[in-house]
C-alpha cells in the first residue's frame, strides 16, 4: 500500500470515528455530520462512500458491537476514553461486518489512537490486541453478533417493541434491521411497469412498487427524465387509502421531502403541500421539477395553517420518532429517547385535531407515521376517536393495497413491520389509519 493510500485510509477512518461520535454523543443528524466532516477532511468520492458505509453499518449494529467489545475487554475503558471506544467499535465493524482487509483495519485504527492527544494514546496497545483478537476469532464473533440481534437496539426500544409485538416479534424486527434495505421506486402511472422493471433490473411488488438492490439512483435510467422517484413500499401505501384522487384537492400536510406529494400529483390530484421546514421543502420543489409534476407548495405550520381552497381529503404524514426507518436511518434510535416520543405524540395530537377540523363532512383523512411506537400509531388514533364523536375509523381492505393483507391490523389500520415480506427484502416500519368525518 502506497504512502498516499495509507494517508487516505487514515483520514477516512478518522472521519468515520468523528461522525460516529457526533451522532451518538452530540445528537447531530447523520447526513449533516457526514457532509460537514468529510468536506473538512477533503475526502474524495471513494473515501466518502467508504466512510458513509462504515458509519451506517456501525450505527445499525452499534448495540451489538458495544456488547461484543465489552466481552473482549477485561477491565473495560475509562468513561472519558470516547475516542478509543469509537475507534474500537468502527474497527470491529470493519473486521466483522465489512470486507475490509484485517491488516488495514487494525494498523490504521491503532495509528489513529497513537496520534490522539492526551492520555488516550496510551490505549494503542489495547486497541491493537482487541482488534487482532477479533481478526483471529472472526467467525465465532460474527456468529455472536448475528445470533443476538436484540443487542443492536437501545434498551428502551427493545422494551417498547417487546411490549408491543412480543419477544419473538421484537427479535424478528431487530434481525431485519441487520440487512441493507432495498431500493424501492414509484413509477409514474402513465409508464409501462413491465418495461421499466426490465430497464431498472427490478421486480414488481404487489402494490406496483419496483424493487431492486441499492445503488446510486442518479445513474439509473429514467432518473434524469423524472420517470420515477424513490419511495419505500410501506411509504407508498397511505396514499392508496385515499382511492381515486383524480380531480380532487388533496391537502398533503408535513409533505417534505415529497414522495407522497408526487404520488398524489401523478394520479391527477390537485395538491397543496404544506411543511414548516424550508430546507426540506427545497428538496420537495426539486423533486417536483425533476418529475415535471405540479403542486402548490406552502411553508407553514401544519398545526395552525388553513388552505385558501377547502380540501376534499387530507393526508397527514405527521412528524414522528421515525423508528420504522432504522435500516435507512440508523442514527435515529441513538439520537432519540422516550421523552422525545412523548413530545412528538403530543405534537401529533395537536396537528391531527387541527387537520380534522379542516376536513369537510363526509371527507377522508389518512394519518400516518413512519414509527413503530404504539403511542404514535394505534394509541394516537384511539385517543383521537375518544375526543371526536364526529369521526370514525374506515377499515382498510387488502384489495386496496395490492393484496398485502399481513399489514392490516384487527382494527383495520395499516401496520407495516420491517420483518414482514422478509424474503422479498422487508419494508420500512409504518402505521396508517383512515378516518372519516361523519356527516
Kindly list the catalytic residues: 370
CA 339: distance to chain centroid? 20
Classified as helix, coil or strand, 420 is coil
Among 326, 348, 337, residue whose Cα is nearest residue 418: 326
Strands across the sheet containing 183-187: 203-204, 210-212, 183-187, 228-230
Q: Which residues are CB-neighbours of 318 under 8 A, at least 6 positions away?
A: 253, 254, 347, 348, 351, 352, 367, 368, 369, 376
Quickly tell me which residue has 406552502 as its cell.
Answer: 298
- The Cα 291–Cα 284 span in angstroms is 11
Parallel, antiparallel or unpaired: strands 183-187 and 228-230: antiparallel
- The Cα 291–Cα 257 span in angstroms is 13
Rg (CA), the chain: 23
- The Cα 79–Cα 85 span in angstroms is 9
Q: Which residues are CB-neighbours of 300 under 8 A, at least 6 positions away?
A: 274, 275, 276
- The Cα 48–Cα 54 span in angstroms is 10
Which 8-state DSSP code applies to residue 177? T
Among 126, 5, 8, 2, residue whose Cα is nearest residue 73: 126
Classified as helix, coil or strand, 315 is strand
Q: What angle do CA 239, 245, 249 make, to 5 degrees?
A: 105
Q: How far lies 361's CA from each of 153, 369, 381, in Å?
A: 44, 24, 19
Asked if 98 contacts 57 with a C-beta cutoff of 8 angstroms, the reply is: yes
Quickly tell me which residue has 395490492 as its cell.
Answer: 402
- The Cα 91–Cα 153 span in angstroms is 20
Amino acid at each position: 500500500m502506497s504512502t498516499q493510500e495509507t494517508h487516505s485510509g487514515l483520514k477516512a477512518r478518522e472521519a468515520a470515528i468523528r461522525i460516529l461520535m457526533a451522532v451518538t454523543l452530540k445528537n447531530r443528524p447523520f447526513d449533516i455530520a457526514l457532509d460537514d466532516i468529510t468536506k473538512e477532511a477533503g475526502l474524495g468520492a471513494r473515501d466518502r462512500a467508504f466512510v458513509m458505509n462504515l458509519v451506517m453499518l456501525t450505527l445499525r449494529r452499534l448495540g451489538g458491537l458495544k456488547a461484543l467489545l465489552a466481552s473482549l475487554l477485561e477491565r473495560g475503558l475509562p468513561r472519558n476514553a470516547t475516542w478509543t471506544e469509537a475507534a474500537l467499535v468502527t474497527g470491529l465493524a470493519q473486521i466483522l461486518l465489512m470486507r475490509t482487509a484485517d491488516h488495514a483495519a487494525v494498523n490504521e485504527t491503532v495509528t489513529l489512537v497513537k496520534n490522539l492527544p492526551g492520555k488516550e494514546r496510551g490505549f494503542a496497545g489495547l486497541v491493537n490486541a482487541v482488534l487482532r483478537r477479533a481478526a483471529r476469532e472472526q467467525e465465532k464473533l460474527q456468529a455472536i453478533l448475528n445470533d443476538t440481534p436484540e443487542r443492536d437496539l437501545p434498551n428502551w426500544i427493545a422494551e417498547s417493541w417487546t411490549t408491543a409485538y412480543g419477544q419473538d416479534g421484537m427479535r424478528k424486527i431487530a434481525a431485519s434491521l441487520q440487512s441493507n434495505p432495498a431500493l424501492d421506486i414509484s413509477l409514474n402511472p402513465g409508464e409501462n411497469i413491465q418495461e421499466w422493471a426490465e430497464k431498472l433490473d427490478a421486480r414488481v411488488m404487489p402494490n406496483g412498487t419496483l424493487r431492486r438492490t441499492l445503488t446510486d439512483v442518479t445513474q439509473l435510467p429514467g432518473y434524469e427524465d423524472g420517470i420515477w422517484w424513490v419511495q419505500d413500499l410501506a411509504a407508498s401505501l397511505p396514499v392508496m387509502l385515499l382511492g381515486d384522487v383524480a380531480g380532487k384537492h388533496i391537502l398533503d400536510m408535513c409533505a417534505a421531502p415529497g414522495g407522497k406529494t408526487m404520488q398524489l400529483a401523478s394520479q391527477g390530484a390537485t395538491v397543496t403541500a404544506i411543511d414548516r421546514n424550508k430546507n426540506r421543502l427545497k428538496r420537495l420543489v426539486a423533486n417536483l421539477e425533476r418529475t415535471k409534476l405540479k403542486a402548490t407548495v406552502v411553508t407553514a405550520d401544519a398545526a395552525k395553517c388553513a388552505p385558501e381552497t377547502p380540501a376534499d381529503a387530507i393526508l397527514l404524514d405527521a412528524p414522528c420518532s421515525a423508528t420504522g426507518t432504522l435500516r435507512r436511518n440508523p442514527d435515529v434510535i441513538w439520537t432519540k429517547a422516550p421523552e422525545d416520543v412523548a413530545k412528538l405524540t403530543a405534537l401529533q395530537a395537536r396537528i391531527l385535531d387541527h387537520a380534522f377540523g379542516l376536513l369537510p363532512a363526509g371527507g377522508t383523512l389518512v394519518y400516518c407515521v413512519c414509527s413503530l411506537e404504539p403511542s404514535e400509531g394505534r394509541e394516537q388514533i384511539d385517543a383521537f376517536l375518544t375526543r371526536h364523536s364526529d369521526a370514525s375509523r374506515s377499515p382498510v381492505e387488502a384489495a386496496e393495497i395490492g393484496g398485502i393483507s399481513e399489514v392490516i391490523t384487527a382494527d383495520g389500520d395499516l401496520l407495516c413491520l420491517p420483518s414482514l415480506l422478509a424474503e422479498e427484502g422487508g419494508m420500512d416500519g409504518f402505521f396508517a389509519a383512515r378516518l372519516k368525518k361523519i356527516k
